[in-house]
Every structure is written in structure tokens, then in C-alpha cells.
Structure 1
Amino acid sequence: MGKKVAEPKGRKVTLKMAKAAVKLTVDGKRRLDLSNMGIASFPKCLLQLSDVEELDLSRNLLRKLPETLTHFANLRWLDLHSNQLESLPHAIGRLQGLRTLNLSNNRLSPAGLPPELGLLAGLRSLNLGLNRLDAVPPFLSALRELRELGLFSNQLSQGPSFLRLLPKLTKVNLADNPLPPASPPPLDTIRRVEGLYLVRGDGLCHLCQQRCQHQRQRLDSWASGKTPDQRWPLFTGLLLSPNSVARQDQEIWR
């Protein structure tokens, strides 16, 4: 039998050290910052500071988290990026006040994400980038308050289909995944430029084509030195009124 690989001992954190690491944020939240301290196991003494709203354990050597994480009932912000986590405890689903969860740069696979993660009904930002995800568990579709989702630098061969079910999602990062190239958008004769609709001539009805031709004749007449009709504004060749509503607006502009 081979030798068992010894786990790193890491730095020991005392209650005195932890209390000294509690700071107030600009918005008055109590943040316990133990980032980049070489911690290899979750310090038990932190349970005596479980009333903090923010906990930063990023850039350490953590491989797992205890189920006692449920003691942090007031937690709104949890940063665990750049550790060695391979799984999350089921207890994470009980942190109902959590709004931001950063799990990037760990060793998480789909099997390491418990279904209880989908119980975080108020979660707004979830970062799972730089992990080992070849699929995204569908229970994340229950995160109806989610605004931002980081999935960059994983092993995803296709984007999660449930993203369209998240009504408040505004930012998704899927960069650096082996995704197939995106299909080009369908061609359309109408495109928006600076708040105005521009339309090609062959996309107009017969009446609009006549109006456009009449307008072009007036422009050509003006360019040849003849007196222009001052009621007509100077356009640049593309019709700005593809429908009757826009034509009424042009009358107001004039």
C-alpha cells in the first residue's frame, strides 16, 4: 500500500486573532477577514463569532467546510475563492440570508455541489469560475433572485439551458469553456442605430418607396443649387420613418 498523503497542517487561528480580524465595512456590516492566512481547516473558534454578516476565507488551503456553517445565520456575504474545496456541505442551504457567494478557483465538480445550494432563495451573485464543472446542476434554476453568475474557465461543452428561467439574471460569464462557436444572428432589414430605426429600401412598402424617392429628388434639387423647400429636413440617404408613427413624429420635429 502506498503512503497516505499528509494533509497540510496550516496555520492555527486563535479566538484572539479572529476577533482582531473583525472590521466594519463602509455600509456598517461586520466582516471577519481571514483571507490569505494559510488556513487548512475551518477554525472552530469562529463559531463564537457567528453573528458576523460577512466572512472572507479566500486564498487559503481549505479542502472542506463543516456542517456547523449553519451557525452563521446572519451571513450575507461569503468569499471562499482560491481554496482547495472539492465539495460543499449540505448545511450551506440553510444560510437563507446569503446574497453573495464566491466559490471560484477551487476543485468543485457537479457532484461536489449539493442540491441544497438551490435553496438559497435570496442569492444574487454566484461565482463558480475556475473549477472542474463539465455540467451545471439544474437545481440552480431555483435561484430566482440571481443577478450574476460566473462559470468561466470550466469544462462546459454547452451553456446551461435553465438560464432563461432566471428572471433577474443580467450577467453571465462563460468565457474559457469548450463551448461550440455561437451561431451568427439572423439577418434583419431593420437595425437600431442611436435610437433610430434604419431600413433598407427593399424593405419598404410601395408608398414609402415613393416618399423616399420624392425626398431624394428634393435633395438632388437642393444640391444642384435650386432653392430647397425649408419644410423638409436634410437626411443622409436612409429613410428614418419606416412606419406611420415615425412619420407623425417627423412632423413634430419639423
Structure 2
Amino acid sequence: MAKGKKKKSQPKGKTITLKMAQNSMELTVDGKRRLNLSFQEIAAVPKCLQKLCEVDELDMSRNLIRKIPDFIDQFVGIRVLDLHSNYLEELPVTIGRLQNLLVLNLCNNRLTSLPNELGLLTKLQTLHLGLNQLDTLPASIGLLKELRHIGLSDNRFTRVPGCISRLNNLQKVNLDRNPMLTEDTASQESVMISESLYVVTESFLCEHCRKKLKNKKLEISNINKVQFIAAIVANMFLGVKW
């Protein structure tokens, strides 16, 4: 009798003990406690990390992690959380309890959506979401009033998310390589933008760029006025009352 083929199992990943995790603790140049578990072939976040939750920075990038456990909310004082280059498909709602978080890096994962609870990270200044499978952002992102930088490159956005227009302190938005719809795509066909596309506030432009922007606004305004007057004249001939 022929032997059946063995079913391929998911890689278990490397087991991290508490002692190994303690040996991965670092002190940054500015005196912050950093737990560096990058490049460790971890497939699941070790439960023993709950005993090291008083760190300032946690780096679990470049691993095999598919899920972030709910106990992530025990890292209440954490300021930097780096989870880039894993296999994350979703985030727990408990991530919204990391009230002191300044930097959240979720690049190069498999995220298709984000929890509304991200809007609770009111101190967040940098949010990296590039290289995922996102086509929308939760409206709660508009509550991140301290956000300066948001990376959305290499996703599935067809237009600039409306919620980011509410972020008054935002300095840069990276929408590189998204299938953005252009104004002349009446058939709703998408075109891939290969060049860099950034959104910045006017105050961060140089004097030359601000002058060009002002002239462009004036040009558009004049065009609109001419079109309006032309419409009035045309309708006068047609007997339309204004």
C-alpha cells in the first residue's frame, strides 16, 4: 500500500525563553530600555514577554509572527513598537491601549484592515503601513492629532484616504505605488503610480514652491471665473434667468 503524502505543517519557529529574552535587552544611547527580538525566527509572541512589559521599545521585526496576542496591552509604557516584516493579517483591538506609543511600524505584513482602536493612540507620531494589502483606513485615524508621518506605500489605495485631511500636524504621507485613480479615468480603470506621491502641508514648502502654489491657485481661480462668466453669457442667449 502506497504511503500517503505527509501534510506540510506551519513552521513552529524558534522557542524564546525568559532568559533568552532578558539577554536580548539593550540600552539605547538616550537611555531607553529596548527589547530586541528581531531576526529570531519567532512564529508566536512568547508568553514570557509579559514579565518584561516595562520596556520602552520592543522590536519583533523580521520574524514569522502571524498574530499579536491580546496581552500586548500590558506594555503600557512602550514608546516604539516595531513589527515590520512578519505575517500579520490582523491586529488585536487591545493595541489601542498603548497610550504612550510614539512609533508603530507594521510595514511588510499581510494586513487587509485595521481596528478602529488605533485612533486611541493619541500620542502616535509615526505610523508605517507600507507593503500591506490595505485599501481603506478606519475613520478613527483622523483622531491621531500628533501624527507627523504616515507611510501607505505599496498597498491597494485608489484614492487618498479622507481621514488624513483631519490631521493638522501631518507633515508627510507616502502613497507610493498604489493603484490610484486619476481624474481622467472615466471608466474607473486604475493606473499604477510608479513615481513618489507625497502630501505635505503648505507650511513645509520652500518659498519658491509656495510662490508656485499661489500662482497655480490664482490661475485655477481665474479659469473658474472665466468659465462662470461664459456660462452666464451662454444662458442669456438661451433665455435662462439667473
Does residue 165 (structure 1) correspond to residue 166 (structure 2)? The answer is yes
Matched with 1:15 is 18
**CA 1:170 to 1:37, structure 2 compared with 1: closer, same or farther past 3 Å?**
same
Give the structure-1-normalised TM-score: 0.69
Which has the larger Rg?
Answer: 1
1:115-144 alpha-carbon deviations (Å, 9 max, x no partner): 111110111100010000112221211111
How far apart, in 1, do the equivalents of 2:170 and 2:209 lie?
25
Which of the residues 51, 55, 73 maps onto 2:54? Answer: 51
Does residue 124 (structure 1) correspond to residue 115 (structure 2)? The answer is no
Within a 5 Å distance, the mapping from 1:151-230 to structure 2 comes to 151-181=152-182, 193=208
**CA 1:196 to 1:146, structure 2 compared with 1: closer, same or farther past 3 Å?**
closer
Which of the residues 37, 42, 65 maps onto 1:62? Answer: 65
1:151-187 alpha-carbon deviations (Å, 9 max, x no partner): 000011111112221010001100000113479xxxx
Say which SS state the counterpart of residue 150 (structure 2) adopts: strand
Stretch moving more, 135-144 or 117-126? 135-144
Q: Which runs of 5+ in 1 are unaligned?
A: 184-191, 204-254
How far apart, in 1, do the equivalents of 2:99 and 2:29 lie?
23
Within a 5 Å distance, the mapping from 1:85-124 to structure 2 comes to 85-110=88-113, 113-124=114-125
CA apart distance, 1:28 = 0.5
1:77-119 alpha-carbon deviations (Å, 9 max, x no partner): 0000000000001110000010000000000012xx1111111
**Structure 1 stretches of 4+ moved >4 Å:** 192-197
Which of the residues 19, 28, 31 maps onto 1:28? Answer: 31
Percentage of pairs with the same residue: 51
Matched with 2:82 is 79
Give the structure-2-normalised TM-score: 0.73
**CA 1:161 to 1:9, structure 2 compared with 1: closer, same or farther past 3 Å?**
same
2:115/2:138 contact within 8 Å kept: no
Code of the aligned partner of 1:26 = V
**CA 1:195 to 1:160, structure 2 compared with 1: closer, same or farther past 3 Å?**
closer
How far apart, in 2, do the equivalents of 1:60 and 1:37 lie?
6
**CA 1:64 to 1:4, structure 2 compared with 1: closer, same or farther past 3 Å?**
farther
CA apart distance, 1:34 = 0.3
CA apart distance, 1:22 = 0.4
| Corresponding residue pairs, total | 189
2:141/2:164 contact within 8 Å kept: no
How far apart, in 2, do the equivalents of 1:179 and 1:196 lie?
27
**CA 1:12 to 1:195, structure 2 compared with 1: closer, same or farther past 3 Å?**
closer
CA RMSD for the aligned pairs?
A: 2.4
Matched with 2:151 is 150
Say which SS state the counterpart of residue 178 (structure 1) adopts: coil
Code of the aligned partner of 1:150 = G
